[in-house]
Amino acid sequence: MAKSQSTRTSATTRKKSSTQDSVLASRTRLRRASGQLTAVIRMIDEGKSCDQIITQLAAVNKAINAAAFTIIAANLEECLTSRSRDNKYTSEQLQKLFLTLN
């Protein structure tokens, strides 16, 4: 029985670590996107070409969406694997979050 409990504890620790890793990866992406957005503003101020600005805006958008999907996916995994009633998000709420990204 102790071995089974140890296995569950280890699995829970890995899941928490995975979620924390996802959050850290999302923060890194968002910081990068923030830098890219600052560069886009500078490009506009400097009168860069429209195609260069749009290309950079597309990169910022992609980085933000990737971070958002990562955060939602990490929470989805947590909700699906948790057996407790005090889950932070329902599956319907997570679906709505996914849909807001389109």
**pLDDT value of residue 98:** 73
Q: What is the DSSP string of 28-56?
A: HHHHHHHHHHHHHHHHHHTT--HHHHHHH
User: pTM higher than 0.85 for the full model?
Assistant: no
Structural domain range at position 43: 2-100
Residue 85 is predicted with a pLDDT of: 55
**Taking the chain (102 residues) in consecutive chunks of 10 residues, what is each chunk's mean pLDDT?**
53 66 89 95 97 95 89 72 62 76 69
CATH code at position 18:
1.20.58.1000
Domain count, the chain: 1
Q: What pLDDT was estimated at residue 61?
A: 93
In this prediction, residue 12 carries a pLDDT of: 54
